Amino acid sequence: MGLRPARGGAVVLDDADRAAALGELREWLRSSGDSDAVLATLVETALGLGEAFLGMALIARDFRDVIPVSGAWSALDMMPVTTIGEVQGLPADGAAFVLTASSYAIDIDGNGIGWVRVMQPGSAGRVSVAYQAGVASDWASLPEPVRQGVVMLAAHLRQAADGVGATPPAAVTALWRPYRRMRLNHAVRA
């Protein structure tokens, strides 16, 4: 289903999505001379850059955020959030423990931002929240302009390795701009 968890690291496609993405990239490059590993790295790098530019996870995968305990709502880092799972208490000393459902509240707003509020943390000073976020379930489900921008950027990265073209094509940002989500300040919820 899309990507394997890679919190804080590179985007890693699963086998089915890797094969689909490599097929599109090979068509774009009109070449099959590069190894799958090289092209997969380029596609995954382009996906990661796309996520950074767009401000959201592209292919759904699991994330885990650690947030401080307070009675206020805290926004999760990635969006659009599709599900919020286990909430674990993280005490300063000792092992993590699962909080009971009555000790916290969760919500996903209309913008896909996930929210967590911990009312009874026990001995925890922080909590770890497992959730899933992403625009699409797999490579084929990505909006066509987003997928095309990823392929174009991956092709550019490949060609730049040969010394062709120093700057990414402006068409990539033109394709992605309508999908861009920006947070001008940290989300606050009453």
- What pLDDT shows up at residue 93? 82
Q: Are β-strands 104-108 and 74-75 bridged in parallel, bridged antiparallel, or unpaired?
A: unpaired
* pLDDT of 3 higher than 60: no
- What pLDDT shows up at residue 183? 65
Mean of all residue pLDDT scores within the chain: 87
User: In the structure, what pLDDT confidence band is assigned to residue 187 with cuts at 50, 70 and 90?
Assistant: low
- What pLDDT shows up at residue 9? 47
- What pLDDT shows up at residue 188? 67
User: In the structure, what pLDDT confidence band is assigned to residue 162 with cuts at 50, 70 and 90?
Assistant: confident
Least confidently predicted of 21-35, 138-152, 160-174: 160-174
Measured in Å, how far apart are the chain's first and last C-alpha atoms? Answer: 35
Nearest to 120 by CA among 102, 106, 107, 93: 102
Signed CA dihedral, 143, 151, 171, 181: sign only: positive
Using CA atoms, how far apart are residues 113 and 95, in angstroms rounded to an integer?
A: 29
- What pLDDT shows up at residue 190? 64
Using CA atoms, how far apart are residues 71 and 73, in angstroms rounded to an integer?
A: 7
- What pLDDT shows up at residue 184? 59
* pLDDT of 181 higher than 60: yes
pLDDT (mean) for 72-89: 94
pLDDT (mean) for 115-141: 92
Using CA atoms, how far apart are residues 80 and 78, in angstroms rounded to an integer?
A: 7
* pLDDT of 6 higher than 50: no
Measured CA to CA in angstroms, residue 44 lies from 103, 147, 154 at distances of: 38, 12, 8
Using CA atoms, how far apart are residues 60 and 133, in angstroms rounded to an integer?
A: 5
